[in-house]
A and B are shown apart, each in its own frame.
Chain A
Amino acid sequence: MIHFDNVSKRYPSGHEALSGLSLHLEPGEMAFLTGHSGAGKSTLLKLIMLMERPTHGQLLINGKNLGRLHSSQIPYYRRRVGVVFQNHQLLFDRNVFDNVALPLQVSGYQPRDIGRRVRAALDKVGLLDKEKMNPIALSGGEQQRVGIARAVVHKPRILLADEPTGNLDPELSAEIMKLFRQFGELGVTVLVATHDVDLISRMGQRLLQLQQGRLVHDEVANHVL
């Protein structure tokens, strides 16, 4: 589903964020991406989101070479990817429902369908009773869950998350991770960038460790507690 083939990314400043990275994720596979800040985690996610283009190498998603994707096609591509951002990226000029509905609205869904799908997504993250509230009135954890609902409301093939548990206490973090794993079981390819090593080790999922733009570890985490 996600295939990096010797991908490098050098920024105009000269900083090389990724160098010669190759990795492959099967459909429905779940993997954690870890490493120190500046190791290239965010860049890797940005490449998949087409917020950046690789300097070298090829990036294939679902067998398609993203390098050949015209920029006018980017929006349609992004509709198949769901992203949970570290800083939520919620809009405070509208309520929770409208925030979650945004991916459906931009794709041209009927209001009737939007209502049904948004409520299903909110129900899944346990915020069905907060749909009319402004996200600014919610706690950090609740805001993060609104962000997750928005990332999955359009049933993406790929789910990316950048430090999704950064602001959450361990118990809630575990719940959220469980949620991500359940998406993986449904066939969604899930890639989560985090440095919550404690949490990852308990998940028993594939672990990709980046160091200075290189993949230094690629293994299923040990169940050492």
Chain B
Amino acid sequence: MSSKGNSRAVRGPQPVARDGRRGASEGAARWSDKLKSYFQHHRALFINTGRRLLAEPVQTLMTSLVVAIALGLPAALYVGVVNLQQLGGRVESTAQMTIFLKKGLNDAAVDQLQKQLREDADIRVVDYVSRERALEEFQQLSGFGNVLQLLDENPLPAVLLVQPEDHFRTDLAASEDLVARIAALPGVDDVRLDMKWMRRLQGMLEIGQRLVFSLGLALSLGVLLIIGNTIRLAIESRRDEIVVVKLVGGTDSYVRRPFLYTGIWYGLLGGILAWLLVLLALLWIGGPVAKLSALYQTEFQLIGLGAAGFVALVGCGVLLGLIGAWLAVARHLADIEPR
């Protein structure tokens, strides 16, 4: 259509002038309308920014994946620590104290000691292993039975196997008190509480937990930088739009909002993908773990992230996305002013 033809269509401003008397002539909308449209605006923005990301699927997937890996690594390490803790708990439950009796202790003294231990409120089970039974078991289980036959006498001491009450499982200090108390009893040569390796495990788990924390912190910073940079590029590519929006009276927060939502989207997608990655990793090692635990004749079940883990992971992603976007927006949006 030629511009000449169009000129005939140019009409006077009457239609708008007529409803201009509704108090809106200064460009102000009603307050309730504003509130309503504020929420509509947010919902629409959430959907629109999501659509914008979908329009560039490869770019979106790559950024989200980087975020997912950064979130997924500490999450996977966390799952590892949790499972080791679970393993530790199981071993502790079977932990018992071994009381070595003095050599040449007569049967009456042994009975007396057993009776005393059985009456102790802290002790659940007492099992007497005589020197003869110890030898028998050693021959059966160790396969070194023939070696013992070379010896003149049975080198194995008599022992009492003591199972303390449940609450001692997790309380190392109380267990040590109990050990000291038993060691002081007459006829007791030595008491072994094999918690050394437990302590080592706990030490390792503590290191593991701190590793999860510091790795999580470092990679969170990484997520902030990734999302911040992505948002910076998005701001750059929408410079014209920002200028026009500012010229027609868009506030800074109006200009900021779509970018914040973009950050939230990256965090959300990254969190969900991270959860999926951890889930896949668990499935991947689940088979071998089941085989291994069958070899140990235990029923070890891998603990996953669970619903709380999912919420935490996605929540972290969303929060980091929002903060990363906010940092980028605070840094770069002020540079864009209409000139």
Beta-carbon contact of A169 and B13 below 8 Å: no
Beta-carbon contact of A120 and B15 below 8 Å: yes
**Given known A51-B337, A91-B240, A108-B41, contact A125–B10 (CB-CB < 8 A):** yes
Complex CA gap A186/B16 in Å reads 10
In which size bucket is the chain B interface? Answer: 35 or more
Residue numbers in B under 8 Å from A79 (CB-CB): 26-28, 248-249
Q: Which residue in chain A gives the minimum CB-CB distance to B41?
A: A108
Beta-carbon contact of B7 and A78 below 8 Å: no
Q: Which residue in chain A gives the minimum CB-CB distance to B248?
A: A103
Instruction: Kindly state whether residue B165 has any CB partner on chain A within 8 Å.
Output: no
Contact of A108 among B4, B19, B37, B244 (CB under 8 A): B37
**Given known A80-B27, A102-B248, A109-B33, contact A182–B12 (CB-CB < 8 A):** yes
Contact of A75 among B7, B16, B20, B251 (CB under 8 A): B251
Residue numbers in A under 8 Å from B112 (CB-CB): none
Whole-angstrom distance from the CB of A32 to the nearest CB of chain B? Answer: 19
Complex CA gap A140/B6 in Å reads 12
Residue numbers in A under 8 Å from B17 (CB-CB): 186
Beta-carbon contact of A110 and B10 below 8 Å: no
Complex CA gap A20/B136 in Å reads 114
Complex CA gap A110/B41 in Å reads 9
Whole-angstrom distance from the CB of B30 to the nearest CB of chain A? Answer: 9
Residue numbers in A under 8 Å from B244 (CB-CB): 89-91, 102
Which of B12, B19, B41, B240 gathers most chain A CB within 10 Å? B12
Beta-carbon contact of A103 and B27 below 8 Å: yes
Beta-carbon contact of B248 and A150 below 8 Å: yes
B residues contacting A by CB (< 8 A) are 1, 3-4, 6-13, 15-17, 19-20, 24-29, 33-34, 36-38, 40-41, 240-241, 243-252, 254, 337-339
Residue numbers in B under 8 Å from A157 (CB-CB): 25-26
Instruction: Describe A's contact surface by its main secondary structure.
Output: helix
Residue numbers in B under 8 Å from A51 (CB-CB): 247, 337-339
Instruction: Kindly state whether residue A126 has any CB partner on chain B within 8 Å.
Output: yes
Beta-carbon contact of B3 and A142 below 8 Å: yes
In which size bucket is the chain A interface? Answer: 35 or more
Beta-carbon contact of B4 and A111 below 8 Å: no
Residue numbers in A under 8 Å from B25 (CB-CB): 155, 157
**Given known A75-B251, A76-B249, A83-B247, contact A145–B27 (CB-CB < 8 A):** no
Beta-carbon contact of B245 and A126 below 8 Å: no
Instruction: Kindly state whether residue A172 has any CB partner on chain B within 8 Å.
Output: yes
Instruction: Kindly state whether residue A198 has any CB partner on chain B within 8 Å.
Output: no
**Given known A110-B33, A154-B27, A155-B27, contact A141–B6 (CB-CB < 8 A):** yes
Contact of B13 among A76, A141, A145, A179 (CB under 8 A): A179
